[in-house]
Structure 1
Amino acid sequence: MENTHTESLVSRLATIRDRVEAGMDRREFLRTLLTGGYALGVAQFLGVDDFLAAGDGEVPIVTALVRSDPDDPWSLEERIRYVPAAWYAAVEKAFELNELLARTALTGYLGSAVVPGSYTSETASVSVGISSGLGSFRETFDGLFEGVSLDVETIIDIEDIDDEHEGFEPRFVDSVSSADIPSGVACETPRSIATLGPVLYDPNTREEFFVTAEHAFEDEADSNGDRLSLPVEGSETVELGPVERAHPIEDIVAVTPADRYRPSNTIDTPTPTRIRGQFTRLGLADLIARDEELEKVGAVTGHTTGAIQGIDAVTCFTDEFCRRGQIRWGGEMDLTDGDSGSVSYHADPDGEEGDVLVAGFNNARTWWPGQSYVWGVGAYELTETYGYYF
């Protein structure tokens, strides 16, 4: 009986949400809640306060998780923005279609990504990469979700890697006079050079980790022996700590700090840059809708900026498994060997000068003809999967 009641409630909530997306006005929303006998707890679940604060034709979305106190890493708060309901409906449908594509995985499917339109267009699209089977994709999925277009492209020759980056030297830290090690500088594994990411927080254990790309280690990072080091300009390499956790699919490793050094939420840039939090999936959609760009600081190519080309992407180009929750941004010249482990970020519009919010991790770039972007796991995906956040 309890399960039946729960299923009925979920169904009714879904109906309410559909009507909210379609632009239900405030009075109709309250009348529906009252006549439907919804309790206060359910109203809070629906976000009534935020919904009623929006204008007609708008809905609230959570765009970021931000620390209210920069010195307290556990003081996360949600950042709210009001957006057109029709745009929100289109983007949510695009997320659903993208998930359906990934689950179905027809022959030739190499990946896909959601591309929200502008707020004035109130549209969204899903970009799909395939190696074959263009007709079947069109027949099966095109027009499945009203207001969402399907952009299918055939990709060939993805096996041939052509690295055009030459002449770059990795940036090492000048000194380690401070115990706090900034991100955006070179770090070293037993196999190669990578870029050190900013401090990664685990709220479940209250631990803080150094972080970099998992593929920088030989074969697969080993928590039983692999260690991360920091090359210092004109000095000896210092040890940062041992690998504590390895996540090959997301392509990250969490490294426990050694006694002497600890990770920092600052990025090694000419002007002070401090990470204040991170974007949600809808927060990234909001950035695309407003035509905002992302930035990164890599140990080899340094500071670059670029447009966001897709979010919630599924990437099946390189391994036997698919990577989910990816971000596509910038161009292939924005990343090279040694930059993996850096983060993409954007200025915090409501923060202090120099405050930024992390979008995601940079793991690789395209090398096949016809497409050009950097890709890596979104910060929101790490939070949803493991609880981590920046």
Structure 2
Amino acid sequence: MERTHNEHLVHRLATLRDRIDAGMDRREFLRTLVTGGYALGVAKFLGVDDFLAAGDGEVPIVTGLVRSDPDDPWSIEERVKYVPAEWYAAVEKALELNERLARTAFTGYLGSAVVPGSYESATATVSVGVSTDAESIRETVEGLFEGVSLQMETIIDVEDIEEGPEDLEPRLAGSVSMDDVPSGVACQTAESIATLGPALYDPSSRQELFVTAEHAFAGGATPSRDQLSLPVENAETVDLGAVEYAHPTEDIAAVAPYGGTAPSNSIDSPSPARVRGQFTRLGLADLVARGEKLEKVGAVTGHTTGKIQGIDAVTCFTDDFCRYGQIRWGGEMDLTDGDSGSVSFHSDPEGEDRDVLVAGFNNARTWWPGQSYVWGVAAYKITEEHGYHF
């Protein structure tokens, strides 16, 4: 009997170990992985030893970029995990088809996301939001989705943006020191309040940067001109720095410190939290497969947790362009005005008790009937596009 595409991919993945030699050079190794069914973005992080150590029916994936030394932001190393080859094949197929769907951008397309199944199910779903008749579009695209479930949802009234509650006061920093400006508290632009994110690192310049939502600056952030400040409880507002980089598509503004205070990798959460690194795309897929939840600390709604509803999402609900590499998680009550700029995170499974890894930023929430989640750009997408990391 002829194999399906997924069965053929699983076979190629499962036999990769037999085709890898400890003495092969890097170029030959990468060529072998890509022809064996690995995405190049995944393969580049792996080494020969990772495959030679895999068990039968398993393949290695990189789940995180983590600091080996918590105090050294440049000591980044890959975190490797072994997963069932069938599950990896299903997820990679769904990611590939989600990307193809976004490129096609058919009439009525508002976005889509990949929802990995459990390791036991070895499945994945692509969830698609449309503004027109879902069934007619299903007939158009379903042929592309062999081996992947397709979930179509019709979305109406997208234009009517609801305002968040107006009676909530933002959480302010209690005090400020040279090396302790925790994330999860309010920061301030000339026009509005947002949430300060944890320290963002730029390997190309060796800069340690403050970060928040770019849309908090009216009309968009302008580098070198716009400034970010920190309201402090029972004290004067502290000027943090000037915008160094503005990325409206990802909705982040990176701010270079003036020197009086420095960014911190701590999060002002109910339990002490220290950012140790970030999840990769497949690291997020692993969290979904295990039913794990994300957390966030916003300046207005504070600490909340929620289920991951989709990864590698495409969002075309706002502006005149689509946003890629998004996370959907939690519910619309987990975010309101003033929470933008906060990050979603999860405990580091191999770190110390207070260590966490960042999943991504929180930039917006649903406001239409039938769906309820927070969305924002994933940390891996920021690294891919601009090189920054947590």
Separation in structure 2 between the aligned mates of residue 321 and residue 20 of structure 1, nearest angstrom: 34
Find out whether 1:225 has 2:225 as its counterpart: yes
Query: What corresponds to 2:98 in structure 1?
Result: 98
| TM-superposition CA deviations, 1:13-72 (whole Å, max 9, x none) | xxxx9966336556x742x457xxx94334543343212211111100000000000111
Separation in structure 2 between the aligned mates of residue 178 and residue 170 of structure 1, nearest angstrom: 23
Say which is worse superposed, 288-297 or 40-49, in terms of deviation. Answer: 40-49
Find out whether 1:40 has 2:25 as its counterpart: yes
- After superposition, residues 312-323 of structure 1 pair within 5 angstroms as 312-323=312-323
Contact 1:94 1:124 in 2 (8 A): yes
Could you tell me the percent identity over the aligned residues?
70
| TM-superposition CA deviations, 1:207-252 (whole Å, max 9, x none) | 1110000000111111141100000111111100011111001000
Partner secondary structure for residue 383 of structure 2:
helix
Separation in structure 1 between the aligned mates of residue 126 and residue 196 of structure 2, nearest angstrom: 32
Separation in structure 1 between the aligned mates of residue 99 and residue 13 of structure 2, nearest angstrom: 27
Query: What corresponds to 2:44 in structure 1?
Result: none
Separation in structure 2 between the aligned mates of residue 204 and residue 21 of structure 1, nearest angstrom: 38
Q: Which amino acid aligns with 1:219?
A: G
Partner secondary structure for residue 236 of structure 1:
coil
Contact 1:23 1:85 in 2 (8 A): no
- After superposition, residues 233-252 of structure 1 pair within 5 angstroms as 233-252=233-252
Q: Which amino acid aligns with 1:290?
A: R
Contact 2:273 2:354 in 1 (8 A): yes
Find out whether 1:53 has 2:49 as its counterpart: no
Partner secondary structure for residue 257 of structure 2:
coil
Contact 2:284 2:311 in 1 (8 A): yes
The TM-score, its normalising length taken from structure 1, stands at 0.91
Query: What corresponds to 1:377 in structure 2?
Result: 377
Gaps of 5+ in 2: 1-5, 34-46
* Candidates 10, 15, 24, aligned match of 1:21: 10
Contact 1:192 1:216 in 2 (8 A): yes
- After superposition, residues 51-90 of structure 1 pair within 5 angstroms as 51-90=51-90
Partner secondary structure for residue 328 of structure 2:
strand
Q: Which amino acid aligns with 1:21?
A: V
Contact 2:178 2:262 in 1 (8 A): no
Separation in structure 1 between the aligned mates of residue 70 and residue 7 of structure 2, nearest angstrom: 37
Contact 1:197 1:212 in 2 (8 A): yes
- After superposition, residues 1-390 of structure 1 pair within 5 angstroms as 21-22=10-11, 25=14, 29-30=17-18, 32=19, 39-42=24-27, 44-45=29-30, 46=33, 47-163=47-163, 165-390=165-390
Partner secondary structure for residue 92 of structure 1:
helix
Contact 2:110 2:129 in 1 (8 A): yes
Separation in structure 2 between the aligned mates of residue 273 and residue 188 of structure 1, nearest angstrom: 23
Partner secondary structure for residue 60 of structure 2:
strand
Query: What corresponds to 2:39 in structure 1?
Result: none
Q: CA deviation at 1:162?
A: 2.3
Change beyond 3 A, Cα 1:25–1:155: closer
Contact 2:63 2:281 in 1 (8 A): yes
Separation in structure 2 between the aligned mates of residue 160 and residue 24 of structure 1, nearest angstrom: 47
Contact 1:200 1:211 in 2 (8 A): yes
Q: Which amino acid aligns with 2:80?
A: I
Alignment length (residue pairs): 369
Separation in structure 2 between the aligned mates of residue 116 and residue 143 of structure 1, nearest angstrom: 20
Q: Which amino acid aligns with 1:63?
A: T
Separation in structure 1 between the aligned mates of residue 196 and residue 204 of structure 2, nearest angstrom: 23
Contact 2:14 2:59 in 1 (8 A): no
Separation in structure 1 between the aligned mates of residue 132 and residue 281 of structure 2, nearest angstrom: 30
Change beyond 3 A, Cα 1:197–1:24: closer
Q: CA deviation at 1:139?
A: 1.9
Partner secondary structure for residue 275 of structure 1:
strand
Change beyond 3 A, Cα 1:118–1:140: same
Query: C-alpha root-mean-square deviation of aligned residues, in Å?
Result: 1.8
| TM-superposition CA deviations, 1:52-110 (whole Å, max 9, x none) | 21111110000000000011100000000110101100000001110011000000000
Change beyond 3 A, Cα 1:74–1:24: closer
Separation in structure 1 between the aligned mates of residue 384 and residue 13 of structure 2, nearest angstrom: 30
Change beyond 3 A, Cα 1:254–1:18: farther
Contact 1:107 1:133 in 2 (8 A): no
Q: CA deviation at 1:184?
A: 0.4
Say which is worse superposed, 46-55 or 300-309, in terms of deviation. Answer: 46-55
Partner secondary structure for residue 389 of structure 1:
coil
Contact 2:116 2:124 in 1 (8 A): yes
